[in-house]
A = this chain, B = another copy of it.
C-alpha cells in the first residue's frame, strides 16, 4: 500500500516551537503538492484529506496507487490531478516488464485508461493524459528506454509549466497589492490546488514574499470549507498573517473599510470576462463594487473559454446535499434528518463587477471582450511556437 511519513502540524500559538520546526520542515512542507522523487524514482504527494490536522506526504510506486490517490482525493485541484496522472504514466513505464514495443505501448494505454476513469469530469486529467500519450505514441521514439525517459521528461515539463504560469500570475497580481493592504480571499486557490503557488493565493504569497505588510481575510467557504481547512494551513506554512471568517462576515468587513482588495480564482472564464467560480464569489463581487473595492479574479489563460460568449452559457453543477449536511456541531447533526437541500457548487460573477483579470500575461482591464481575447491568443501562440 501507500507508504507515508506523518508530520504533526505544530500549534501556531507556540511561536518558538514553530520557528524551530519551520527551519527543519520548510523544505519538506513547501514542496509541490505532487512531484517526482528522482532519488527513489517514485511519485510523492501531500495527502490533502488529512489537512489541516496532519501533514503527511505519501510515496506512490505504481500507477494503480496514483489512480487510488486521485479517486480518493489525496490530491485535488485540476492542475495537480493532471500532473499526478502524467507522473502515473511515468510509473507505468517503469512497471511494464515487456521488451516488445507494441506491448509496451499497450501497457501505457491500459494505464491511461485506468487513470482517466478516476475522476470522470476532470478536463485537466484528460488533457494531461493525452499530452503524455502523444509521447508514448510518437514513432520518433523507437525503443522502450527512450519512451521511458521521454514520458517522465514530458510529465516533469507539464508540472514545471504549471508552476511557471502560476509564478507569472503571482507576480502580475502582487503588483496590485499595496503595503498595509488587507486582502479578502475565497476558497482554496493555493499550492494545494495546483502543482505549486496556485492562483489567487499565489498572488498573496508573492506579495508577502516581496516583503509587503499584508493581512488576509480567508472566507471559510462553505460547503466544503476549503478556506478554513486548506488556505489557512497554507498561510501558516508561508507565514502569511491571516484570519478565518465565515462567508457571511465578508460583507461587514468590506462595508466598514477593512478590506482593500479582493482576489479570487476562476474555474472557467467566458470571452466577455464573466467568471464562474466557487459558490459565493458572485456575492463578493457585488459587495466589493458597492463599496468601491477592487475585485480581481486570478485566471490562467488556459481556463478562459473564448467559445463561451457570456457566463450564462456556463452550466452550474448542483452537487449532493449531504455535502452541506454532513457537518457536525458538538457531535450532533446540523440539520433535520432527511432535510431538503439545494447545493449549487459554482456561481457566475458578471464582468461588470470585475475590476480586472490577472493572467500570466498581464492584468487585463475592460473592455474584456477585446482585451481578454488578445491576451489569450498571444499566450496560445506562445505555446504553439
Chain A residues within 8 Å of B, Cβ to Cβ: 9, 11-14, 50, 52-53, 217, 220-223, 225, 228-229, 232-233, 236, 241-253, 255, 278-280, 282-283, 286-287, 290, 316, 321, 324-344, 347-348
Contacts and interface: CB of A to CB of B under 8 A. Distances in A.
Contact of A344 (B247, B252, B348): B252
Contact of A282 (B217, B246, B247, B252): B252
Nearest to A258: B342
Contact of A246 (B253, B331, B343): B343
Contact of A324 (B233, B244, B290): B244
Nearest to A236: B336
Given A244-B325, A251-B286, A232 B279 contact: no
A337 B14 CA distance: 10
4 tightest A-B CB contacts, nearest first: A248-B280, A251-B283, A12-B338, A252-B347
21 contacts: A9-B337, A52-B333, A53-B337, A220-B324, A222-B248, A223-B248, A228-B324, A228-B335, A228-B339, A232-B339, A236-B336, A241-B340, A243-B340, A246-B247, A247-B280, A248-B280, A248-B347, A252-B347, A253-B342, A283-B283, A327-B327
Given A228-B325, A246-B222, A249-B342, A53 B280 contact: no
B326 A244 contact: no
Contacts of A236: 336, 339
